[in-house]
Chains A and B, each alone.
Chain A
Amino acid sequence: MSAPVLEARGLGFGYPGQPQRLALEGVDLRLEPGAHVGLVGPNGAGKSTLLRCLCGLEPLRAGGLWLAGQAVEGARLDQLHRQVGLVFQHADDMLFTPRVADDVAFGPRQLGLSPADVDARVQAALARVGAEALAERVPHQLSAGEKRRVALAAALALEPQVLLLDEPTSDLDPRGRRELRALLRELELTLLVASHDLEFVLALCDQVVVLDGGRVVRQGPAGEVLGDEPLMLAHGLERPHSLAPHAVHHRHDGELHGHGHEHTAGDL
Chain B
Amino acid sequence: MSDPAPPAASWLGRRDDRARLVALVLLAFAVASLEHQPPVLAALGLGLALLVSLRLPRGRLWSRLAPLVALLVPLALLTPLWHPPGAEPLVAGWRWGPTDRGLALTGLILSRVLALALLAFGALEAAPFARSLAALQRLRLPQALTHTLLLSYRYLTLLREELGRTRHALRARAFRAGPNPRTLRVYAGVSGGLLLRGLARTERCEQAMTCRGYRGRLALGPAPAAGLADLALVLVALGAGAALVVWDRGGWVG
Using a CB–CB distance below 8 Å, which chain A residues touch chain B? Answer: 52, 55, 57, 78, 81-82, 85-86, 88, 90, 92-99, 102, 106-107, 109-115, 118, 136, 138-141, 154-155, 158
CB-CB < 8 A to A94: which residues of B?
205, 208
User: Are A93's CB and B210's CB within 8 A?
Assistant: no
CB-CB < 8 A to A109: which residues of B?
218-221
Q: Does B45 contact A (CB under 8 A)?
A: no
CB of B47, distance to nearest CB on chain A (Å): 24
Partner of A141 from the list B3, B150, B158 (CB cut-off 8 Å) is: B3
* Cα-based distance from A57 to B211 in the complex (angstroms): 7
User: Are B213's CB and A158's CB within 8 A?
Assistant: yes
Q: Does B212 contact A (CB under 8 A)?
A: yes
A-B contact pairs, 28 of them (CB 8 A): A55-B211, A57-B210, A81-B212, A82-B213, A88-B207, A92-B201, A93-B207, A94-B208, A95-B154, A96-B150, A96-B208, A97-B130, A97-B154, A98-B128, A98-B129, A98-B130, A98-B153, A99-B130, A102-B130, A107-B212, A109-B220, A110-B212, A118-B221, A138-B4, A140-B158, A140-B161, A158-B212, A158-B213
Partner of A99 from the list B128, B155, B161, B215 (CB cut-off 8 Å) is: B128
CB-CB < 8 A to A81: which residues of B?
210-213
15 more contacts with CB within 8 A, not counting A98-B129, A98-B154, are A86-B211, A96-B150, A96-B151, A96-B154, A96-B208, A98-B153, A99-B130, A106-B209, A110-B214, A114-B221, A115-B222, A118-B221, A138-B3, A140-B161, A154-B212
CB-CB < 8 A to B214: which residues of A?
106, 110
User: Are B222's CB and A140's CB within 8 A?
Assistant: no
CB of A95, distance to nearest CB on chain B (Å): 8
CB-CB < 8 A to A95: which residues of B?
154
Interface contacts (Cβ under 8 Å), in number, total 87
Q: Does B6 contact A (CB under 8 A)?
A: yes
Q: Does B167 contact A (CB under 8 A)?
A: no
CB-CB < 8 A to B154: which residues of A?
95-98, 139-140
Partner of B158 from the list A82, A92, A97, A112 (CB cut-off 8 Å) is: A92
Question: Closest chain B residue to A57 by CB distance?
Answer: B207
Q: Does B204 contact A (CB under 8 A)?
A: yes
**Per-residue interface assignment for chain B, residues 101 to 136, with 1 indicating a CB less than 8 Å from any chain A CB and 0 otherwise:** 000000000000000000000000000111000000
Partner of A110 from the list B204, B208, B213 (CB cut-off 8 Å) is: B213
Q: Does B157 contact A (CB under 8 A)?
A: yes
**Per-residue interface assignment for chain B, residues 1 to 34, with 1 indicating a CB less than 8 Å from any chain A CB and 0 otherwise:** 0011010000000000000000000000000000
User: Are B213's CB and A98's CB within 8 A?
Assistant: no
CB of A235, distance to nearest CB on chain B (Å): 26
* Cα-based distance from A96 to B6 in the complex (angstroms): 17
Question: Closest chain B residue to A109 by CB distance?
Answer: B219
CB-CB < 8 A to B204: which residues of A?
88, 90, 93
CB-CB < 8 A to A57: which residues of B?
207, 210-211
A95, A110, A158 interface centre (most CB from chain B within 10 Å): A110
* Cα-based distance from A81 to B220 in the complex (angstroms): 19
* Cα-based distance from A43 to B155 in the complex (angstroms): 27
Report if A96-B219 is in contact (Cβ < 8 Å); known contacts: A57-B211, A81-B210.
no
* Cα-based distance from A106 to B130 in the complex (angstroms): 12
3 nearest A-B residue pairs (beta carbon): A110-B213, A107-B212, A109-B219
Question: Closest chain A residue to B204 by CB distance?
Answer: A93
* Cα-based distance from A95 to B222 in the complex (angstroms): 23
* Cα-based distance from A139 to B3 in the complex (angstroms): 10
CB-CB < 8 A to B208: which residues of A?
86, 88, 93-94, 96
Partner of B6 from the list A97, A118, A136 (CB cut-off 8 Å) is: A136
Question: Closest chain B residue to A107 by CB distance?
Answer: B212
CB-CB < 8 A to B158: which residues of A?
92, 140
CB of A220, distance to nearest CB on chain B (Å): 29
Question: Closest chain B residue to A58 by CB distance?
Answer: B207
CB of B217, distance to nearest CB on chain A (Å): 9
CB-CB < 8 A to B155: which residues of A?
96
Partner of A97 from the list B150, B207, B219, B221 (CB cut-off 8 Å) is: B150
CB-CB < 8 A to B222: which residues of A?
114-115
Report if A107-B221 is in contact (Cβ < 8 Å); known contacts: A52-B207, A93-B201, A140-B154.
no
Question: Closest chain B residue to A137 by CB distance?
Answer: B3
User: Are A93's CB and B213's CB within 8 A?
Assistant: no
Question: Closest chain B residue to A91 by CB distance?
Answer: B208
CB-CB < 8 A to A97: which residues of B?
130, 150, 154
Question: Closest chain B residue to A112 by CB distance?
Answer: B219
* Cα-based distance from A138 to B3 in the complex (angstroms): 7
* Cα-based distance from A155 to B210 in the complex (angstroms): 12
CB-CB < 8 A to A86: which residues of B?
208, 211
